[in-house]
A and B are shown apart, each in its own frame.
Chain A
Amino acid sequence: MEVLSFIFSLLYQYADSIALLLLSSVGLIIIFGMMGVINMAHGELMMIGAYVTAWSYHAGVPTGFAIIMGGIGAGCVGILIERLIVRRFYGQLLASLVATWGLSLVLSQSFLLLFGPGPKGVPTPFGSFTVGQLSYSYYRLVMLASALAMILGVWALFTFTRFGVQARSTMENPEVARALGINTSAIYALTFGFGSMLAGLAGGIFALTALIEPNFGQSYTVVAFITVVVGGGADFVSGLFASALILAGVKTIIINQVNILLGQVAMMVTALIIIRLMPTGLSGYFERIRLRVGRR
């Protein structure tokens, strides 16, 4: 029983880590992966989602809807950001990096100034269950389920809907898309807004477990970038899953054997090694293998 209990504990932590990586990254997959835009204010969009969620909750809105409102709030801010700032930097990676980093500072400091150190937290729903000696929160599993649902939703949106097809063709070749009558300008804004909304939803989901304060987003930004880059651009969905599985795995094992910090360090070193060996990311590597096998 001890062993089973320990294994369950490990798996639970693993699932929790995966959820963290997936939720942080799903919005960035759209913005960085598809659009090729570096948005260093990604964490702040998550922060805005968390804040709006908390405000809505304390205004009486049920938790689920509060999170959706968080997503919508972040989505609107995202569209504003795209219109005013981001659109000037398409194709210029370093410039968009620097500009959005400045924006990130403005947003986090503004929230600090306007709203103080943070709103009251939102209680974690669903309660807990026990395995062996330890009790576990159901919510963490719900987080993982939400992450999977969001990714599935993104995949379905971009594969089956008209918006999704238009967005993909715009990203592939804006000139041709325009010639086909697609309003590329609107597509860029909406896609960025959609990615921001996902970030906001993730922020709202995290708000139920974490302390909400203005610097809330910063740690998520870098984690998200690392996960997306390791995943690679050849196939975002499979890349993201592979990346999350590996990185979360390394982190969980090291955290258990040593401590939390070394777990983070190990995760980062793993990411570095993967990028060193596979510059196009995991999905890029899978693609090459698939081609080589296919050739035989």
Chain B
Amino acid sequence: MLSYARVDRWLSRFNGPQTIGHSAPFWGAVLFVIGLGIAVPYIVGGYDLVNFTGFVLMLFLAMGLCFIWGFCGILSLGQGAFLGLGGYTYGVVGINLIEAQGNTDVALIAGLIVPVLLAAVLGYFMFYARLKGVFVAILMLVVTLLFQTFLNQTAGVQWHIGKAYLGGNNGLGRFSAGITELPSLKLGIGDLVYEFVGTSPAFYYLVFGLAAITFLGLRMMVNSRIGYIMVAIREDPDRTEAFGYDVRLIQLLVFCVGALLAAFSGILYVGWGGFIDPSAFGIYNNILPVIWVAVGGRKSLEATVVSTIFLLWLSQRLAIGGEYAFIVLGGILVIVMMLAPEGVMTSMLDYWARWRRRGAASGRRTGDI
């Protein structure tokens, strides 16, 4: 039976000092948000739903950066490289196999594996060379810009992988003689295949469900042994290695997880809009997650989720009135780094906790909600 003690024990896997919130009201709020998320297609419809889906699918990119940067200290200015590579791989494999297989299962898997392989190779070079953090960050930026430069000049008909034309800056699948549709997500086996059309509520539920599962999964990971070792590496990599941990290997694995999540956003992006072009590797998919994560609070998955959705919504509103979005976002980043470098949400929670602790006995944990 569902006793309070059993729920509590099961829930304890998701709670810990590395995450915000552990009390009943907190989880109540989480359930409420999930409920709200489930209700969204009934509250908004049509265009707004599709739009919101576009926000939610970016959460993987954001949570990935939060995981590697906030929890392990690995800043990457080039997560867009994995997003783009994931999307392009999914598209290329999908175009080639869709007729034969009738589904995009293999395309999905390929779209996840290829970016992770790239991350493993890059990671090996960077972490086994014990490269300093800033150089890892900049190197990733170089990698993503190289991808963009390369793909921008693949417009000619000779640039194709099987049936998939790279299309240059027109986008994947587009070439002078016509357009090849990028397949939407068709998942299943044999005859039991379901097509998640990008604009449908079904696709929204897929994305939202996966986002919720990913959030909980990451939350569980950071509260487990993996979590505190990652934080130990973030805080003092030399000390942690002196305790017997192969820090280079752990950083490599963490980096691969971040790549996997970014790739996921890329695949969903293609499944959502049916389109991807070299700008996916460009500055925006690289700087935006840094802004979302830094502004919310890089050491908190919860703050990252809230901040990502809010800032995506905000940039859209600003773009309607004129192209102020990026100036405002860049400005917010600079101001947050100067005034609240731990993140707006994280700093606010710290203040609140300290205010609540005034007069209370010492020994209360910070951020106790």
Contacts and interface: CB of A to CB of B under 8 A. Distances in A.
B58 interface: no
B134 interface: yes
B331 interface: yes
Contacts of B287: 101-102, 105
Interface in B133-160: 133-135, 137-139, 141-142, 145-146, 149-150, 153
Contact of B75 (A97, A99, A113, A219): A97
B369 interface: no
Give the secondary structure class of B's interface. helix
Q: Which of B134, B141, B153 has the most CB of A within 10 A?
A: B134
Given A97-B134, A101-B290, A275-B135, A106 B327 contact: yes
Given A102-B330, A110-B327, A113-B327, A264 B134 contact: no
A106 B279 CA distance: 19
Contacts of B294: 98
B288 to A, nearest CB: 10
A85 interface: yes
A38 B139 CA distance: 14
Contacts, number: 96
A282 B133 CA distance: 20
Interface stretch (A50-58, A133-141, A204-212, A222-230): A222-230
Interface stretch (B87-95, B239-247, B334-342, B346-354): B334-342
Contact of B291 (A89, A102, A110, A226): A102
Contact of B131 (A95, A219, A275): A275
Given A113-B324, A218-B283, A226-B142, A279 B137 contact: no
Given A94-B133, A222-B138, A275-B129, A113 B145 contact: no
A93 B133 contact: yes
Given A98-B290, A99-B334, A106-B331, A93 B134 contact: yes
B323 A109 contact: yes
Interface of B: 75, 77, 125, 129-135, 137-139, 141-142, 145-146, 149-150, 153, 283, 287, 290-291, 294, 322-324, 326-327, 329-334, 337-338, 341
Interface of A: 38, 85, 88-89, 93-95, 97-99, 101-106, 109-110, 112-113, 218-219, 222, 225-226, 229, 261, 264-265, 268, 272, 275-276, 279
27 contacts: A85-B338, A93-B132, A93-B134, A94-B134, A95-B337, A98-B333, A101-B287, A101-B333, A102-B291, A102-B329, A102-B331, A105-B329, A109-B323, A109-B326, A109-B327, A110-B327, A113-B322, A113-B323, A113-B327, A226-B142, A261-B149, A261-B153, A264-B149, A265-B146, A275-B129, A275-B135, A279-B131
